[in-house]
Structure 1
Amino acid sequence: MTSTVPAPSQQGTKGNLVEMNWDPITRIVGSLGIYTKIDFDNNEVVECHSTSSIFRGYSIFMRGKDPRDAHFITSRICGICGDNHATCSCYAQNMAYGVKPPHLGEWIVNLGEAAEYMFDHNIFQENLVGVDYCEKMVSDTNPSVLAKAENTPAPHAGEHGYRTIADIMRSLNPFTGEFYREALQVSRLTREMFCLMEGRHVHPSTLYPGGVGTVATVQLMTDYLTRLMRYVEFMKKVVPMHDDLFDFFYEALPGYEQVGLRRTLLGCWGSFQDPEVCNFAYRDMTEWGRHMFVTPGVVVDGQLVTTDLVRINLGLRIMLGSSYYEDWEGQEMFVTHDPLGNPVDRRHPWNQHTNPRPQKRDLEDKYSWVMSPRWFDGQDNLALDTGGGPLARLWSTALAGLVNTDYIKSTGRSVEIHLPKTALKGPVTFEWKIPQWSNTLERNRARTYFQAYAAAAALTFAEKALAEIRAGHTKTWEKFEVPDEAVSCGFTEAVRGVLSHHMVIRDGKIANYHPYPPTPWNASPRDSSGTPGPYEDAVQGQPIFEENDREHFKGIDIMRTVRSFDPCLPCGVHMYLGQGKSLELVHSPTQAMGGE
């Protein structure tokens, strides 16, 4: 159980404030550092800065490339959600080339992405986030809470099999916990499901603009469905188990709703295209965006501001502020108007230039390689977050009320998830209701419900795909030509939330390309207006409930908040090689033989 919470470094005190830093944060990918000032007299985090120390630069070396290679290259942005990037890049290419994939091709893409949501959310929630709520962690940070858990019956024990809340916590202990090990086994099934549809995980080998290279057969779908139904049965246990666990924390620690709480500013770019409506044309993007099986939307203070992907696109702004870059003011404008004639801002991704300027970290000035994406609502540049992905997806979909299938339905106030009869359990209906708060526990709860949502959606996609195959419509790819000039964009949801790819083609080559995954939105530092990013905003001002004194402080409440966003730093930062310097290591024969 070592290193489950990184030991904070104490840089000293200022007044009654103690500076504590966690760098790097464990149980995530990437070089994320959280720098705080804590008032232990009042048990409050007073200040927080989110930093990232690596840079890569896809937006630089994509220039001049053949656009048909874009999805293969951008897939390598991340070794976790590479397929989300490949999918989004193919969407952007479909728009640029004016190609509409066959229906079956799109159903296969949807099945692959649904499997990715199930795989990634499962392994992150149960094997990484779950550790923050396991018996060993709670005993180390809040022994009184564990004592209460021992004597608190689990309300849904009959559905998940754990008699008390402490039994649930024990099942989450790494490597020894029953549920921890079960979740690892389940993750194998979902990865196999993905590979059936897209060839390999996590960099698809059969995904292309115009469709997929997957050979679609009844047997292929049967192999997928066999695994999917085992996952569906697993979710009938997982959802009530997590409801019991998260509800218990509200009960055991009055005021815990304040942990990770921030103003409800959520962004969702939509997911799972409906090929019966989607033609990938920009002029029709408002319409086909609203037919996605996860509805795009911006939620401000709990209200749905828009579901229009054109408006969402035009509102994108890339701010610098505390980032290690020079501004691009005065540099070339690639796009002045979108394909519908709407003016495009200089700070839009279509017009972004990436000018890295490495320097020493200064928390009062420049301190991160992550830029600060914002969404302009007509008055303010809003620091939207993704709620870790699922919270924004479910909230937007619920309010929009546009989804209605046999398995998933949005009601205007909730999302209903219908899971059919499985080998050992009858049919079950779950309802995710819009919560009171956008906070740590609700981000985690939404992740559990979205696993069930993705499974239910996959049932719809499999039925649609089987209908195409049985009707003899087995074509999965449509040919296309690359134009000399094009402006395009792709929108989808990566596992952790919003994902967009913006591309400009000139002379048949990429002139400008900018991928914006969820991590820049969530991990952004303070922007040019001084507005903190979502990690920073969610952590600073939150109360501290940990029972350890400052000498033994682990920062569990801070870690729970940061990890509730599902951080993945490779998507937020890019590698930088400075002035082209190279290092060369030369071995002499004597060194090779162990000599001096």
Structure 2
Amino acid sequence: MTATAPKASTGQKTDLVEMAWDPITRIVGSLGIYTKIDFGAKRVAECHSTSSIFRGYSIFMKGKDPRDAHFITSRICGICGDNHATCSVYNQNMAYGVRPPHLGEWIINLGEAAEYMFDHNIYQENLVGVDFCEKMISETNPGVLELANRTEARGAAEHGYRTVGDIMRALNPFTGEFYREALQVSRYTREMFCLMEGRHVHPSTLYPGGVGTTATIQLFTDYLSRLMRYVEFMKRVVPMHDDLFDFMYEALPGYEEVGRRRVLLGCWGSLNDPEHCDFDYRTMTNWGRKMFVTPGVVVDGKLVTTDLVEINLGIRILLGSSFYRGWEDQEKFVNVDPLGHPVSQDHPWNQHTIPAPQKRDFDDKYSWTMSPRWFDGKDHLPLDTGGGPIARLWATALAGLVDIGTVKSTGHSVEIHLPRTALRPARDFTWTPPTDKSGAPLSNAIERDRARTYFQAYAAAAALHFVEKAMAEVRGGNTKTWESFVVPDDSVSCGFTEAVRGVLSHHMVIRDGKIANYHPYPPTPWNGSVRDKFGTPGPYEDAVQNTPIFEENSPDNFKGIDIMRAVRSFDPCLPCGVHMYLGNGRQLHKETSPTQLNLP
């Protein structure tokens, strides 16, 4: 539920201040957030999200050998390149009709689980965690820091920090104890990935048909020894973050509205079960539901589908405020899917990328990001991923399809079991879909961040199952990790998985043995999409608009920390930049009326 605009009578003057953060995030600076803030009402009145970079992978993929697709698309990102490589390999497996040996799939699952552990850890503790550290809180909400220093941490016995203030100090960049510890964790989780797929972040042993990894008991033991260190680490992290996030609600009543938007979540599922997954589109509904992270679309807190075929056919790529020309007059590559269902002209299989660069105009076109939507037969829904974990956990919890001992979905929750480790006893955690005080489903900045912590534990627990399965294959003499294939002259295929930050799909059309059309859609185009042809804002824009301002600074010294938390909770995938603030704002005077505010 989004907070409503303040009421005003006809002729009432509202003072709005234009403020921009461009680039935003602490990773690559092609994301800009442009706002108009009503400091009198302490609320963001308007928001536009921009992307200032055009890369064109969908253009130069045409004519390439399909077998090169995963090597090329891995370079889309320097952070989640392996997710792209994995999704591309899934896509190619479908195109070539190849089913990898079970051991090959368990190795890929172990690599992807390690990537979730690595990336979520470094982002949560070393990037977004800084927004909650002592230094940041002291500069934006000194009153909150005073309270934090007096507030006993409920989970102190588990994580070792006596007060919430101590937790905040531990998160201080470069000097904080926990900040530095998390950097070390990121090192050995990256090593875990490299053990499985050779190189991070662009895998060197990942191919269609399986992997080139030499599988031995020693290999999996090396992985497992690091995994158990991570399991022990997570037994401290989950209660520590619960203490921090619960405190934010207690210290700042109403903070649940920061970054809040309607619950419209998409998860494409990840971590295939090789005993069921054959990569055949015609059986995709069944093997999709066997994934260890269940695909699903959640609308207003309710799970509306877990069918990957239905999810696929519902994808629409809309324009509106994007720097592109429509493709209505262009060739349609796919009329029906392999099951005979009609395919929309706006589907990725039929998309054409036609750049139309122009001056940015917030009343017209203002970004290189398109507007992916999911069509439910009636509405084009602006799904978000919530940074990945909240959508994954919500869909998996409600589906009730996963039960492997270490993780279980119950139909209303996800249960995570972390076994005994060297220094700590076994620990169980339960994640349930969050609600506000009235019981309404809640997707906001804090809950997106909290879900990221719980999904780290989920990934670790699932990896314990994958290690056991992989070792059983090797002990049974089933050491083959790759299956041969033949590239067809013509094919239509798709791959679905979850990148760290959420939904990832690759769609390919092969003609005469070459790529005729290829469209990868990672989570950021969904989360960072702009106003579509219907005027519907994208998730960043929607989450920031109407966000209340709790920062104690005046407009002259405003840092926008509540806005930053709202956007960063989505884990924007724009690698390796800096957070930059431009200017102190420009005063606007705008006459508003009830009509303009959409009031009754």
TM-score w.r.t. the length of structure 2 is: 0.92
* 1:15 Cα deviation from its structure 2 partner: 4.9
**What 5-or-longer segments of structure 2 have no aligned partner?**
1-12, 436-441, 577-600
* 1:504 Cα deviation from its structure 2 partner: 0.1
Q: What whole-Å deviation, never above 9, does each CA across 1:519-569 have from its counterpart, x for those lacking one?
A: 000000100000000000000011000000100000000000100000013
Residues 52, 569 of structure 1: 8 Å contact kept: no
Question: Quick one: which amino acid aligns to residue 484 of structure 1?
Answer: D
Select the structure with the greater relative contact order (CA < 8 A; seq sep ≥ 6): 2
Q: What whole-Å deviation, never above 9, does each CA across 1:255-286 have from its counterpart, x for those lacking one?
A: 00000000000000000000000000000000
2: CA distance between counterparts of 1:212 and 1:274? 16
Alignment match of 1:438 (pick from 435, 443, 448)? 443
Q: Is 1:495 matched with 2:510?
A: no
1: CA distance between counterparts of 2:25 and 2:506? 29
Q: Which residue of structure 1 aligns with residue 553 of structure 2?
A: 548
Residues 59, 514 of structure 1: 8 Å contact kept: yes
Residues 259, 543 of structure 2: 8 Å contact kept: yes
Q: Which residue of structure 2 aligns with residue 210 of structure 1?
A: 209
- Count residues in correspondence: 558
Q: Which residue of structure 1 aligns with residue 79 of structure 2?
A: 80
Q: What whole-Å deviation, never above 9, does each CA across 1:483-542 have from its counterpart, x for those lacking one?
A: 000000000000000000000000000000000000000000100000000000000011
Question: Quick one: which amino acid aligns to residue 281 of structure 2?
Answer: Y
Q: Which residue of structure 2 aligns with residue 449 of structure 1?
A: 454
1: CA distance between counterparts of 2:197 and 2:174? 30
Question: Quick one: which amino acid aligns to residue 568 of structure 2?
Answer: R
Q: Which residue of structure 2 aligns with residue 256 of structure 1?
A: 255
Q: Which residue of structure 2 aligns with residue 129 of structure 1?
A: 128
* 1:330 Cα deviation from its structure 2 partner: 1.2
2: CA distance between counterparts of 1:287 and 1:26? 38
Question: Quick one: which amino acid aligns to residue 37 of structure 1?
Answer: K
Residues 74, 82 of structure 2: 8 Å contact kept: yes
Q: Secondary structure at the match of 2:504?
A: strand
Q: Secondary structure at the match of 1:548?
A: coil
1:69-218 matches, within 5 Å, as 69-218=68-217
Question: Quick one: which amino acid aligns to residue 190 of structure 1?
Answer: T
1:512-527 matches, within 5 Å, as 512-527=517-532
Q: Is 1:237 matched with 2:236?
A: yes
1:239-388 matches, within 5 Å, as 239-388=238-387
Q: Which residue of structure 2 aligns with residue 54 of structure 1?
A: 53
1: CA distance between counterparts of 2:66 and 2:444? 40
1: CA distance between counterparts of 2:61 and 2:575? 17
Q: What whole-Å deviation, never above 9, does each CA across 1:80-132 have from its counterpart, x for those lacking one?
A: 00000000000000000000000000000000000000000000000000000
Q: Which residue of structure 1 aligns with residue 480 of structure 2?
A: 475
Residues 22, 29 of structure 2: 8 Å contact kept: no
1: CA distance between counterparts of 2:120 and 2:256? 22
* 1:37 Cα deviation from its structure 2 partner: 0.3
2: CA distance between counterparts of 1:564 and 1:26? 10
Q: Secondary structure at the match of 2:479?
A: coil
1: CA distance between counterparts of 2:164 and 2:510? 56
Q: Secondary structure at the match of 2:498?
A: strand
Q: What whole-Å deviation, never above 9, does each CA across 1:320-365 have from its counterpart, x for those lacking one?
A: 1100000001100000000000000000000000000111111111
2: CA distance between counterparts of 1:434 and 1:412? 11
2: CA distance between counterparts of 1:140 and 1:299? 37
Q: Is 1:509 matched with 2:508?
A: no
Q: Which residue of structure 2 aligns with residue 32 of structure 1?
A: 31
Question: Quick one: which amino acid aligns to residue 27 of structure 1?
Answer: R
Question: Quick one: which amino acid aligns to residue 546 of structure 1?
Answer: E
Q: What whole-Å deviation, never above 9, does each CA across 1:225-245 have from its counterpart, x for those lacking one?
A: 000000000000000000000
* 1:26 Cα deviation from its structure 2 partner: 3.6
* 1:433 Cα deviation from its structure 2 partner: 1.1
2: CA distance between counterparts of 1:352 and 1:16? 43
2: CA distance between counterparts of 1:29 and 1:82? 15
Q: Which residue of structure 2 aligns with residue 577 of structure 1?
A: none
Q: What whole-Å deviation, never above 9, does each CA across 1:377-401 have from its counterpart, x for those lacking one?
A: 0100000000100000000000000
Residues 30, 568 of structure 1: 8 Å contact kept: no
Q: Secondary structure at the match of 2:566?
A: helix
Residues 25, 572 of structure 2: 8 Å contact kept: no
Q: What whole-Å deviation, never above 9, does each CA across 1:138-183 have from its counterpart, x for those lacking one?
A: 0000000000001000000000000000000000000000000000
Identical aligned residues as a percent: 80
Q: Secondary structure at the match of 1:16?
A: strand
* 1:406 Cα deviation from its structure 2 partner: 1.2
1:6-17 matches, within 5 Å, as 15-17=14-16
Q: Secondary structure at the match of 1:438?
A: coil
Q: Which residue of structure 1 aligns with residue 568 of structure 2?
A: 563
Residues 29, 567 of structure 1: 8 Å contact kept: no
Question: Quick one: which amino acid aligns to residue 121 of structure 1?
Answer: H
2: CA distance between counterparts of 1:99 and 1:390? 30
Alignment match of 1:528 (pick from 533, 552, 557)? 533
Q: Is 1:461 matched with 2:466?
A: yes
* 1:195 Cα deviation from its structure 2 partner: 0.1
Residues 398, 409 of structure 2: 8 Å contact kept: yes
1: CA distance between counterparts of 2:69 and 2:491? 14
1: CA distance between counterparts of 2:412 and 2:273? 23
Q: Which residue of structure 1 aligns with residue 590 of structure 2?
A: none
Q: Secondary structure at the match of 1:467?
A: helix
Q: Secondary structure at the match of 1:106?
A: helix
1:582-593 matches, within 5 Å, as none
Residues 297, 304 of structure 1: 8 Å contact kept: yes
1:409-428 matches, within 5 Å, as 409-428=408-427
1: CA distance between counterparts of 2:573 and 2:505? 16
Residues 77, 570 of structure 1: 8 Å contact kept: no
1: CA distance between counterparts of 2:296 and 2:575? 25
Residues 267, 296 of structure 2: 8 Å contact kept: yes
Question: Quick one: which amino acid aligns to residue 353 of structure 2?
Answer: T
Residues 269, 295 of structure 2: 8 Å contact kept: yes
- RMSD value over aligned CA atoms? 0.9
Residues 64, 514 of structure 2: 8 Å contact kept: yes
Q: Secondary structure at the match of 1:350?
A: helix
**What 5-or-longer segments of structure 1 have no aligned partner?**
1-13, 572-596
1: CA distance between counterparts of 2:263 and 2:98? 37
